[in-house]
Copies of this chain bind each other. A is one copy, B any other.
Amino acid sequence: MKMKNEDDFEYRKLANTFVGLIQDGTLVPGTRVPSLRQTSLQKRVSVTTALKAYRLLEDRGYLRASPKSGYFVSNPAATLLDATTTPGPPRHERSVSLPKIMNTLLEHSSDPKFVPLGCNSPRSRLLAPENLDRSLARSTRRYGADKNAHASPKGDVRLRQQVARRSLTWGGAFSYEDIMITCGCTEAVIIALQAVTKPGDMVAVESPTYFGNLHTMEALKLRAYELPTDAETGIDLEALEKALQQQVINACLLPPSFSNPLGFTMSEEKKLAILKLLKKHGIPLIEDDAAGEIYFGKERPRPFSALDPSADVLYCSSFSKTLAPGYRVGWIATKQHMDGVLDKKLTTTLYSPSLSQFALAEFLSSGGYDNHLRKLRRNLEEALDMLGHAVSAAFPKGTHVSRPGGGNALWLELPGTIDSLELFYQALDEGICIVPGEIFSVDDRYSNCLRLSAAHGWDARIEAGVATIGALAKRMMQD
């Protein structure tokens, strides 16, 4: 299976040239890079190819676009995660089994007493709290006793209309009839999985993969098929095809943008190739787009369901990363499986809370969401930049760091001897919460990795926390 076409090859080659120039110091941070036209002439490529290369570099965090003045080299937050350090073949036949550590993690990750490097949901002050409070107050008045009655199991129709309307902005073509409201993205994913799998089934995922989804699969007695995953280009398409041919996979669960934890976004060509493969084998795709709105490039990457509206896809997302973690409002959008997901909703939480739905519908219809998102993206991108700098300064030599094009987190590979689970416990003792790599896989292949989040913005306490973790890691190397 050949994935890349000629054009794909060309713009990636061009992008890699720039990566080399940036990494060897030829292009230093702040430098304005040649214009698209200049590059097109110099490198003998089309302007389109040059643009694609620049956008890729922008998505990967190497370049920063500045309106009307062109592209500039970003601050080098840290070394790009080396693609050669990504996992070898997964242990296919093992049931998902997550350690108790996830409970410990979640008890501490949102505890304000701990430095929140383990928390992937933005802190409240980044989340338009005043505007949201106003929407809440308006809904409280407007809906009177209705807010204490059940909404429909499928969810409040006004909120579903708002969600459907917003899906148009990222290329989705959903009617409100294709939308079901859930209690956060977690319920969306468990319902989507229940709708298309049965116990014992195998679900293909990227590796490393968000621990919450692995844990949900474990609860449903599903097995994880961890696909080898490149930190830049995403899952290994040939490995997926092979697994499909061998008929060992019953469903696929993938992030369409800003993979958690690696931060990559697969190219549209690759997404289309995946959809084609899945269609050929009749396998459904659950896309977990929790972080889709937190993009640092020019445009939001298009999810799978936007690329082929006829594909067998269940799209899952929520407002937890962008607006209201405490409200627990997510959704599933699907044209193919609405009966199935509605059926499962009746057995998980039956109804979603009414007032949360009314307040979010009110907020969305009041029109300030896009403005809020622009500010939030800027804040999170800056915080992630600062986090990258702090990691570069504090962590041991040999630490590799991801360069996500969106989302809230960095993925770190520490030099081989460091056990991140030990680091996690030492950090808790210091009042700092991080996420050990161990829980992003069903086996221990990421025991030298960790995820750090910049979701709470940047301040002196967080900066000091990163310095402490780095110092702990250095000390562990010397032991």
Contact = CB atoms under 8 A, between A and B. Distances in A.
Interface of A: 100, 102-103, 106-107, 110-111, 121, 123-125, 127, 129, 132-133, 136-137, 140, 144-154, 183-184, 186-187, 190, 194, 198-200, 212, 215-216, 218-221, 324-328, 339, 342-344, 346-356
A324 B150 CA distance: 9
Given A110-B150, A129-B148, A183-B353, 8 more contacts: A103-B343, A106-B350, A107-B153, A184-B349, A184-B351, A186-B349, A328-B351, A355-B356
Given A199-B199, A212-B346, A215-B347, A324 B132 contact: no
A contact patch SS: helix
A215 B153 CA distance: 14
B328 A190 contact: no
Please provide the 10 A-B residue pairs with the shortest distance between their CB atoms, ordered closest to farther.
Answer: A124-B145, A326-B354, A199-B199, A219-B347, A183-B349, A216-B347, A186-B350, A148-B326, A110-B150, A328-B353
Nearest to A352: B328
A218 B124 contact: no
A375 to B, nearest CB: 16
A103 B324 contact: no
Contacts of A136: 140, 355
Q: How many copies does the complex hold?
A: 2
A221 B201 CA distance: 13
A330 to B, nearest CB: 9
Nearest to A152: B107
A218 B148 contact: no
Contacts of A111: 152
A286 to B, nearest CB: 14
B145 A125 contact: yes
B149 A110 contact: yes
A149 B123 contact: yes
A341 to B, nearest CB: 11
A346 B140 contact: no
B326 A147 contact: yes
Contact of A187 (B106, B137, B348): B348
Contacts of A351: 184, 325-326, 328
Given A328-B352, A351-B184, A353-B353, A106 B346 contact: yes
A347 B220 CA distance: 9
24 contacts: A100-B339, A102-B346, A103-B153, A103-B339, A107-B154, A110-B152, A121-B150, A123-B145, A137-B140, A148-B324, A148-B327, A183-B328, A184-B350, A186-B346, A186-B349, A186-B350, A187-B348, A198-B221, A215-B347, A326-B354, A328-B352, A353-B353, A353-B356, A355-B356
B212 A350 contact: yes
A182 to B, nearest CB: 8
A325 B121 contact: no
Contacts of A100: 339
Contact of A348 (B106, B145, B186, B218): B186
Nearest to A130: B145
Contacts of A356: 353, 355-356
B347 A326 contact: no
A326 B132 contact: no
Contacts of A325: 148-150, 351
A218 B347 contact: yes
B146 A124 contact: yes
